[in-house]
Each structure stands twice: as structure tokens, then as C-alpha cells.
Amino acid sequence: MTATTIAPAPAPAPGGGRAPRRRGRLREMREATPLTYLALILTVITSIFPMWWMFVIATRDSAAASQWPPAVLPGGDLLGNMERLFANSTANFTTGLLNSLIASTVVSVSVVFFCSLAGFALGKLKFAGRTFFTVAVVVTMAVPVQVGIIPLLIMMDWFGWRGELQSVIVPFMVSGFGVFMMRQYVLQTVPDELIEAARIDGCSTFRVYWSVVLPALRPAMVVLGLLTFMQTWNEFIWALAVLTPDNPTVQFSINQLNESAYSRDFALMFTGATFATLPLLIIFIVLGRQLVGRIMEGAIKA
Amino acid sequence: MTSTEHGAPPSARSADPRPAATATGRRPGRNRGTLMSRLDVKGSPYLFIAPFFVLFGVFGLFPLLYTVWVSLHEWSLIGGNEGFIGLDNYVRLATDAKFWLALYNTLGIFLIAVVPQLLLALTLADVLNRRIRGQSAFRMTLILPYITSIAALAIVFSQLFGSEFGLINQALGYLGFDPINWRGDKYFSWVAIAVMIDWRWTGYNALIYLAAMQAVPKDVYEAASLDGASRLRQFFQITIPMLRPTIIFTVIISTIGQMQLFTEPAIFDTGGNMAGGTQGQFQTVMMLVFQEAFRYGNYGYGSAIAWVLFVLVVVLGLVNTLISSRIKGA
């Protein structure tokens, strides 16, 4: 889980302040050479090929995965492969897909809500211990929580949650990274005057959060939600430890194929892999541009 | 905040004691400092941060600390807690060749992955830091691998690195090289896993470096150009030093992440018992934790390994931070 943390990299612009933003044509940039484009195109091919090939094999038979030269064009077996996949009793793929969709959605909504609430409090409200709590949040970001996996499983037994869907939801409903990201964003975008004005209008603190802070936070919330969705979707070791083959997440489900006698049935496995990637791909197509912006912004600010 | 404390009419307030508001009244300045609004202002901040700290405490901090407790016991899946045994699990660990091998593997894979990743990401960032047609499309493609299912792509790479019919071996054969035993050979298995990691993370890190590069003031380069410094020299003597804090940051993050490496080698290793190959040649520490705890049911011993891993991550993180502040100070 920790691996997907976005970097609030402490890259200080030399000379103290942030370097002024230069946009578009005003920025003096070096010219690209043909070599530049060659390097970029090679990178693009490397980035895309494994995913494309995954899709291609999902539309063909298993022999295509071992074929040389490699198959690069889709075939006509996708529907047949899908039929086999969704009917496969080892994988329980339908349940897995559904479970992952539910878990990732619930966790994302919860993380966005709780983290924006806490981020608002830490960024804009005055209370005793605020600095302490802010530092505490930052410290939690560096804690490799995955290490506590054994006691967490023991706890699931206490609660009777082993094998149940809530075991992959409830433990992930907050994130220190999310709180910190929201706090930074609140500080940047919500002026104190706006909050004071709302209070003078008689808003309670929660009302201020709901009607003033949340709308301002929307762009950051979208990115945090997307990252959390992706992270929950990708959760692997914990799902493997706590769930059972009859009630899997999608990652667990494709791993079942990989570990079983089906591991030579590449068409089947790659069809599973394709469907395990598809929701993330859709999100990427819709929100990829914002994500790029956020990663780059996170690298300079904070 | 007391200066801005204005209550809604008491009637509206007292009807709903929650901080979640019913305050619809728009009558400013009246009933300043009623009990409810004072409670709201004093109490809400704690109420707002409570979910985070409570949930993190229960599902993050507690299991982490409880790991120590479990590690001091004979504790198994079947029998539960079978009594305090002090440091026995740690003594066992110190002489367990499997543990040392797993640690060696984890560090080895980390190094093989992180060094090329760093160089590639820096190069890519430098390439992107030019006037390019389709700049934003290139950037998006760069982070495409980051937005994928790790397990799914690990399955794909496992086939690419297959020893008999894997695409990479076939390509090597086509070029006249001998096929490589990607799973059987220790170091080649590390390379295969490192490739999976780097495929996912290089573009992401390149974007971070690119952002940092664009924050370097242009006049520094202009001055260097006037002094006759070549592009290459500027890259090594201006860009790299300016990016040092960012580079160190990304290395710290990778260290924390890669020390817990699990998904890629677990899937690369078909069979599912987390052995990391026939000789444990690519079993990582986290795979060993999983194997001991969930395949063999040794919760106590697994916890001891997990705790050592935790201490290791913290120590490495501190060393990294220390080095970075030393460098910044210099």
C-alpha cells in the first residue's frame, strides 16, 4: 500500500520562494531533436506494449502467447474467453469483480470524506494540540502498516470478519496521506475570510465544511478518490491473507488462476488480467490529465 | 476563533445537538456565544479529526504494536496463544538461513531496481523538459503503467519472462542468444522482478523529476551557457545538484515501498506457497512473513520477522533522511 504514495517532494525552489510559473510559449525551452522523439516513442511503446499484448492474448487462444513473432493484432476469441472466465469455478471472477468494485468505491468515498474533514480541521480550525496532531498525521504516513498484517488477521477473527467483504474495507477507510494532502489543499485554496463570513452567517462548523470547504476541495478530492480507488483495487497481500476463494477480490481471483492448473491457460488468465485492469484504465482515460498535474504539483509544493 | 463566533438562533441550535448543522438561520450577530455554538467551535475540530485517529489507531497502530506482543509468544493458527517464550522467536530468526536469504533477496532486488530506475527517470525527465509536440500526451503515457493492476501486469510479465516460450527468450533466440532461465537463476529472477517494478514506477518518478527541473531558474543555465558549459555538463553540474532533495525523497519512498515487496515476486512464483522459487532465490521478506504466518500457521515467528522488517524500514528511512539533511547542509 505504501508504494503508491504520491510524493509531496520537498524540492525547494532555489533561493527560497517557489519559482514563478512559466507557461506555454513564454517558457524558454530547448528544442527537441529527432533523438528526443525516438527516446519518447520507445518509452511509449514500452509503456503500452505489455498492456496491449495482454489484451491481444485475451482475444486469442493460449498458443498465441507463445508465438513468435509475437501476436500484435486482436483475434476473435474474446467472447469465448470471457465465457470461460466468468464460468470458471476456481476464479469466481464475477464475485471478485463485484467485491472489488464495492470495496474500492466504499473505501474511496470514505477516505475522501474523513480525510477532507480532518484536513479542514488541521488546516483551518484553531484548537489545542493542532500542531501535535498535524505532526502525528505526517508520522503515520511513514509507517509501513503492512507489517502489522498478522495481528490484523487475528483481529478479524475477533470481529468475525475473516472472509467477509468488510475485512478489506474497514481497515482502509482513512489515510494519513489523504489527510495531509487535503490539509495542504485547504490551506492553498480556502481563504480565512470565506470561513469567517460563513460563520457570521450562522453556519455551524460542519456546515462551513459542507458548503464552503467541500466545493473548494473538489479537484483534490477527485484525485485523492482516484488514487484511493486504485490502491484499494490493487490491494493484494491482505486480500490473499484474509479472504477465501469463494469470496475473493479481483486480484485474489486472477491469482487463483495463476496458482492453479489454469496457469498454462494464458488466454484465460490474460482475459482475467484485462478485466482486472479495465476499471483502472477507464478512470485513467477520464482523469489521467488531472493526475499528471497533481503528481507534478505535489513534487514542487508542500 | 472566538472573535468569529456567532451562533445561530438558539432554537435552531438546541433542536439538534450534533455539530452537523441545521443552522439555516441567517441572523448574524445575535445570541453570540450560546452554549451550543461554543461547544461547536471548541468540539468540532476534535470531532473532525477523530475518525482518522480512531480508525488509524485501531487498524494501523494497534496491529503494528501488537506484532511485538505476538512475536514474544508461541502463537499458531490452530492453537492460538500458547504462552510467553520471550525472545525465542528472535533467536530462531537470527540463525534462520531462510530469513537471511530473504533479506538478501529483498535488498538485492531493491538495488537492481532502484539504480536503473533513477537514471532512466532522470533521462526521461530531461527528454521531456524540451519543447515537444504532444507534451501532455507523452506525460500521460508515462504514468499509464502506474495506473494498472499490479497483479494483472505481473501475470503478463511472468509470461514474458517464461523460460521456454516466454516472449523475451524467444526474442533472445531470434537474435542468436541462449535462452535465460528467468525463474531458476537467482540473479536473472531478480532482474525480471526489477523490470516489473521499474516498468511501473519509472514514468511516475520521471514526472516528479520533470516538475523539479522546471522549477530550476533559467538564468542559472543561461549563466552556465555564457561560461561555455556544455549541455551534458549543465545536466550533471546544475540539474542533478538542484534536484538532489527530490531525488533523495523519491529514494526514501522507494525504500519504504520496496522493502515490503510482495505482489510481483509472489505472482512470478507460480504455485502459491510463497517459496520464491525452488531454492527461495527470489523470496522476499514479506513473502517469508506470509509463508510462515499464513501457509505454516506460525503467527509468533511470522510476527518476529515482520517486526524486524519494520525496524529495518524505519532505520533505513532515518538513515536516508540523515544523509539527505547532511547533503543539504553541505
**A125–B45 C-beta distance less than 8 A:** yes
**Domain annotation covers residue A119:** yes
Alpha helices in B164-239 (DSSP H): 167-174, 186-214, 218-226, 231-234
The pLDDT score that the predictor gives to residue A230 is: 92
**A43–B124 C-beta distance less than 8 A:** yes
- pLDDT at position A231 over 60: yes
Each residue's pLDDT tens digit, B257-267: 899 999 999 99
The pLDDT score that the predictor gives to residue A273 is: 95
Q: Which residue has the higher pLDDT, A208 or B23?
A: A208
Cell of B285: 521478506
Provide the ipTM. Answer: 0.86
Tell which residue, A178, A5, A280, A224, has the closest CA to residue B150.
Answer: A280
- pLDDT at position B90 over 80: yes
Q: Which residue has the higher pLDDT, B16 or B189?
A: B189
Tell which residue, A8, A236, A241, A115, has the closest CA to residue B63.
Answer: A241
Nearest CA in chain B to A234: B149
Each residue's pLDDT tens digit, B8-67: 344 444 444 444 444 444 444 445 568 888 888 888 999 999 999 999 999 999 999 999
What is the domain partition of chain B in residue ranges? 2-71, 90-329
Each residue's pLDDT tens digit, B271-298: 778 999 888 999 999 999 999 999 999 9
Q: Are A279 and B149 in contact (CB under 8 A)?
A: no
**B313–A145 C-beta distance less than 8 A:** no
How many distinct structural domains can be found in chain A? 1
User: Is the CB of A146 inside 8 Å of chain B's CB atoms?
Assistant: yes
Q: Which of A55-59, A172-176, B130-134, B175-179 has the lowest mean pLDDT?
A: B130-134
Mutation target among B89, B149, B197, B298 for the A interface, most CBs of A within 10 A: B149
**B55–A173 C-beta distance less than 8 A:** yes
**A300–B212 C-beta distance less than 8 A:** yes
**A206–B20 C-beta distance less than 8 A:** yes
Q: Which of A8-12, A32-36, B158-162, B192-196 has the lowest mean pLDDT?
A: A8-12
Quick one: chain B helix, strand, coil %, rounded to 5?
A: 70, 5, 25
The pLDDT score that the predictor gives to residue B95 is: 95
Q: Which of A186-195, A290-299, B95-104 has the lowest mean pLDDT?
A: A290-299
The pLDDT score that the predictor gives to residue B168 is: 92
* d(C-alpha B81, C-alpha A42), whole Å: 55
* d(C-alpha B204, C-alpha B200), whole Å: 8
- Of the pLDDT bands very low, low, confident and very high (cuts 50, 70, 90), residue B239 is confident
User: Is the CB of A120 inside 8 Å of chain B's CB atoms?
Assistant: yes
Task: Determine the structural domain holding residue A180 and report its residue range.
Answer: 89-300
Residues of A within 8 A of B303 (CB-CB) are: 150-151
Q: Which CATH superfamily is domain B90-329 in?
A: MetI-like (1.10.3720.10)
- pLDDT at position A295 over 90: no
- Of the pLDDT bands very low, low, confident and very high (cuts 50, 70, 90), residue A29 is low
The pLDDT score that the predictor gives to residue B255 is: 86
User: Is the CB of A98 inside 8 Å of chain B's CB atoms?
Assistant: no
Q: Which of A93-97, A162-166, B3-7 has the lowest mean pLDDT?
A: B3-7
- pLDDT at position A4 over 60: no
Residues of A within 8 A of B310 (CB-CB) are: 144, 147
Q: What is the mean pLDDT of residues B70-88?
A: 91
User: Is the CB of A282 inside 8 Å of chain B's CB atoms?
Assistant: no
Each residue's pLDDT tens digit, A142-167: 888 889 999 999 999 999 999 999 99
Q: What is the dihedral of CA A39, A43, A45, A51, to 10 degrees?
A: 180
**A149–B63 C-beta distance less than 8 A:** yes
Gap from A160 CA to chain B (nearest CA, Å): 15
The pLDDT score that the predictor gives to residue A28 is: 55
The pLDDT score that the predictor gives to residue B100 is: 97
Beta strands in A189-268 (DSSP E): none
Q: CB B222: neighbour CB atoms within 10 A?
A: 11
Host H or E run for residue A32: none
- pLDDT at position B146 over 80: yes
Cβ contacts of residue B28 below 8 Å, gap of 6+? A200, A201, A202, B6
Task: Name the percent of chain B lying above pLDDT 70.
Answer: 88
Q: Are B260 and B286 in contact (CB under 8 A)?
A: yes
The pLDDT score that the predictor gives to residue A297 is: 79
Q: How far is CA A171 from CA A51, A146, A248, B90, in A?
A: 31, 11, 17, 28
Q: What is the mean pLDDT of residues A67-72?
A: 85
**Domain annotation covers residue A17:** no
Q: Are B48 and B35 in contact (CB under 8 A)?
A: no
Each residue's pLDDT tens digit, A120-136: 999 999 999 999 999 99
The pLDDT score that the predictor gives to residue A5 is: 41
Minimum-distance CB partner of A236 among B61, B133, B262: B262
The pLDDT score that the predictor gives to residue B328 is: 59
Q: DSSP state, A70?
A: P
User: Is the CB of A130 inside 8 Å of chain B's CB atoms?
Assistant: yes
The pLDDT score that the predictor gives to residue A299 is: 62
A241: CATH: 1.10.3720.10
Q: Which residue has the higher pLDDT, B322 or A272?
A: A272
Minimum-distance CB partner of A255 among B153, B267, B286: B267
